[in-house]
A and B are shown apart, each in its own frame.
Chain A
Amino acid sequence: AQTVTQSQPEMSVQEAETVTLSCTYDTSESDYYLFWYKQPPSRQMILVIRQEAYKQQNATENRFSVNFQKAAKSFSLKISDSQLGDAAMYFCAYDGGATNKLIFGTGTLLAVQP
């Protein structure tokens, strides 16, 4: 069965600095999607970025980028120029396609210090 692990329950970053959130996963599939979702205190789930496993190029969305290491089954999120509005819970998620469901990690609570 596929699993997603986020080993950092909490992280803190200074405003305008860069922070990296870690995620590892386990799967026997060769093709899949990986996602980072942001959940602010409102508890809305907001898609931050996604990565297709067959693409070697790391995905980037403005200040958010990923470091996807397929062989290592690692999918980290880098937030550059952190802003106060980035403070939230961040969930890594996996979708193997064949199962048509998202499998989430336990989340990393990010605090941004002014």
Chain B
Amino acid sequence: DTGVSQDPRHKITKRGQNVTFRCDPISEHNRLYWYRQTLGQGPEFLTYFQNEAQLEKSRLLSDRFSAERPKGSFSTLEIQRTEQGDSAMYLCASSPGTAKNIQYFGAGTRLSVL
């Protein structure tokens, strides 16, 4: 069990550029979640995968955001045409999908849009 891994840890980009983040969940965890955390706030839910199926998306996830989880393993979160308001910490969590519903979080990707 190597934990949830996120890459990169930090990303600085210019407004209007596209960025992609990767999350590698704990092996055999079938649930994967993306959250966004802005300064001074708690994490906010973005989207959820059960295996490869994306089962729910928050209204926070505008059309510029897309997430995938091919083959039910790693996941990517892409933001197109970034805006300064997209600056935040993007957190990934995975869960084994049991009744305990314990989510294990990665260290996050911090995005700064200049």
Partners in one complex: no
